[in-house]
Amino acid sequence: MKIIDDLLSTLNYEALVKDIRLGPFQTAVLTRNCGLAATPHDPGPHHDKTPVKESGFLLDKGALALAQMVKSPSPLEATIGMATINSLIEVDEQRCVELNAGNLLAEKGKGKRVALVGHFPFVPELRQAAEELWVIERQPQPGDFAEDQAEKLVPMTEVIGITGTAFTNHTIEHLLELCKPQTYVVILGGTTPLSPVLFNYGVDAISGAQAIDPEMVLRCVSQGATFRQIKGIRLLTMTR
């Protein structure tokens, strides 16, 4: 998990953990900023599991311990860790523009072979722009490819968008290794860390979210908002 270790090494952990909200679709952690990460969906039984071992006492942990949970084999703990990381990143706004990742991928992928790891709402528009679009999903929808097809499809792409949840399910490094050096790589979604560290791993653009009204973000997450329903954020893209 070198990319995660490098990301962790850049953060300042002298921040109070003020709040943690684990909603059905999004997870939010409030330290010096408010960070988001997509809540994973486990359809299996949970009564015989402990997805979050110290549930109820996480505010007693420091920011460093919470951030390091991103390495946990528990998807929910890893998500809390990623949201903590995102809350600690001091985003360099001068390097960012307000740009939706779907528009960026449509521009870069026009007439090209495009892969999208994760099924996003802009798939229909991207399919119209690209010569060919392969959507790779853990829970495939009609027309999608199962995640085991990534080995075959990713090396053939000219442009690829990779969901930020690849950090929390620990597939990010493998997916990046599958990309050819000339492939234009975008990491996208609310889970994505807006950190230039990613540029050291062949990433060309980082599209994430910045909370500008933490109180509103926490309220939305707690009340079951999906990412598209969350108010108080803005979408930012940072390029190499």
Q: What is the CATH number of the domain that holds 101?
A: 3.40.50.11590
Whether residues 67 and 143 share a domain: the answer is no
Residues 102 and 151 in one domain: yes
- Residue among 163, 240, 165 nearest 203 (CA): 240
Confidence of residue 225 (pLDDT cuts 50, 70, 90): very high
Instruction: Please tell me the predicted confidence (pLDDT) of residue 94.
Output: 94
CA distance linking residue 83 with residue 30, whole number of Å: 9
Averaged pLDDT for residues 132-161:
95
Contact between 232 and 97 (Cβ < 8 Å): no
- The pLDDT of 185-211, averaged and rounded, is 97
> What's the token pair of residue 115?
């892969």
User: Which residues are within 8 A (CB) of 49 and not within 5 positions of it... i.e. 6 or more apart?
Assistant: none
- Statement: residue 45 has pLDDT above 90: no
Are 199 and 140 part of one and the same domain? yes
Kindly state whether residues 59 and 115 are assigned to the same domain.
no
Q: What is the pLDDT of residue 50?
A: 72
**SS3 category, 142:** coil
Question: Considering the entire predicted model, what is its pTM?
Answer: 0.94
Task: Name the band, by pLDDT with cuts 50, 70 and 90, for residue 51.
Answer: confident
In a domain, 173, yes or no: yes
Mean pLDDT for 75-96 is 96
144 and 64: one domain? no
The total domain count for the chain is 2
User: Using CA atoms, how far apart are residues 74 and 49, in angstroms rounded to an integer?
Assistant: 10
Please determine, for residue 36, whether its predicted confidence score (pLDDT) is greater than 90. Answer: yes
Range 118-143 average pLDDT? 94
Is 236 domain-assigned? no
Q: In this predicted structure, what is the pLDDT of residue 41? A: 79
Q: What is the mean pLDDT of residues 5-30?
A: 97
189: left (phi over 0), alpha (psi -120 to 50) or beta: left
In this structure, the answer to whether residues 121 and 76 fall within a common structural domain is no
- Containing domain of residue 73, as a range? 2-91+212-231
> Is 240:186 a contact under the CB 8 Å cutoff?
no
